Amino acid sequence: MSLLIREMRGAYAFVERNINLIRRYWGWEIVWLIYSLTNALAITYIGNGMSAISGQEIDTQYVVTYLLVGALIWQYLSVIFYAISEMIAWERWEGTIEYTFMAPVSRPTHLIGTTLFAIGYGVVRTLVILGIVVGFFRLNLGGANLLGAVLMLLAGSVSFVGLGIFAAVLPLLYPERGAQMTNAAAAILLLVSGVYYPIETLPGWLQRIAAASPATYVIQGMRACLLDGRSTGTLLPTIFTLIGIGVFVIAIGLVIFRYVERYAKRAGRLKRSG
């Protein structure tokens, strides 16, 4: 059997396992969908109420679209981030981590399988939420550059895969607290990346952190495509920068993961199910 076929089967193991997890935990899935949907609606309604809050005439439709783009893109990116970061947390929780780690499957293959699932799942989930949310608001995406938006989203996915690998290390190092630390990391990204407001409203020191977050560029790029209709050509530097950051973060993430896996094996940390 060729190495490639074996690795493809190994990668598919993670796709199929995650689909089975969704099937078997469908109740949770519905709860999370309702949570994400109501979150997106609640945030977008802030835009609808801006005139009433400030007592001034504002372009409500623009603000609503601005917030909705932020909510949906964050929803998609956080699904990628959590799906990758939970590749260890799920196994710890179920107690199967030792069996997966002793299987002849390489960590990049493990990651490819998890990423394929994460992107597919993120797209489907975001489209479902988008499909429901557009029924609540009047949106004007007439001049939007949809192709540019898709390219921007794909480029952003690469860097979030890398960030997910960093977060996946945490449950290996800290069996009990690792998953919660992942939540904290996601919350920091949400704060600094300009998801619901321009980063210029942040204090200077937070703006410097925002400049290091790939989410900042994805969200700015998405708004440029969807709200301002910027051409794909003018966004190419941002897209290539995002891909570059993504490749760099994935490479560093894999090196760190390998180092931490070795440490966990040295210290006997794979055993505890936490």
> CB 179 → another protein: shortest distance, Å?
17
Question: DSSP letter string over 101-134?
Answer: HTSS--HHHHHHHHHHHHHHHHHHHHHHHHHHHT
> CB 111 → another protein: shortest distance, Å?
14
**Whole-angstrom distance, CA of residue 130 vs CA of residue 197:** 20
CB 97 within 8 A of CB 273: yes
Helix, strand, coil abundance in the chain, percent, nearest 5 = 80, 0, 20
Of 207, 214, 205, whose CA–CA distance to 77 is shortest? 214
When asked if residue 17 is in the footprint of another protein (CB under 8 A), the reply is yes
Vertex 193: Cα angle to 187 and 196 (nearest 5): 90
Site for another protein in 28-87 (CB under 8 A): none
Of 40, 105, 129, 226, which lies in the binding site for another protein, with binding defined by CB under 8 A?
105
CB 81 within 8 A of CB 163: yes
When asked if residue 200 is in the footprint of another protein (CB under 8 A), the reply is no
Binding to another protein by CB under 8 A, coded x per residue (else -) over 229-268, reads ---------------------------------x--xxxx
Nearer to another protein, 110 or 230 (CB): 110
**Whole-angstrom distance, CA of residue 237 vs CA of residue 17:** 37
CB 37 within 8 A of CB 129: yes
Of 52, 57, 104, 200, which lies in the binding site for another protein, with binding defined by CB under 8 A?
104
Nearer to another protein, 104 or 142 (CB): 104
Environment class of 256 (CB within 10 Å of its CB; exposed 0-12, middle 13-18, buried 19+): middle
Nearer to another protein, 105 or 222 (CB): 105
> CB 184 → another protein: shortest distance, Å?
23
> CB 34 → another protein: shortest distance, Å?
21
Vertex 223: Cα angle to 245 and 209 (nearest 5): 45
When asked if residue 99 is in the footprint of another protein (CB under 8 A), the reply is yes
> CB 172 → another protein: shortest distance, Å?
13
| Residues found near another protein in the complex (CB under 8 A) | 1, 5-7, 9-10, 12-13, 16-17, 20-21, 24-25, 94-96, 98-106, 262, 265-268, 270-271, 273
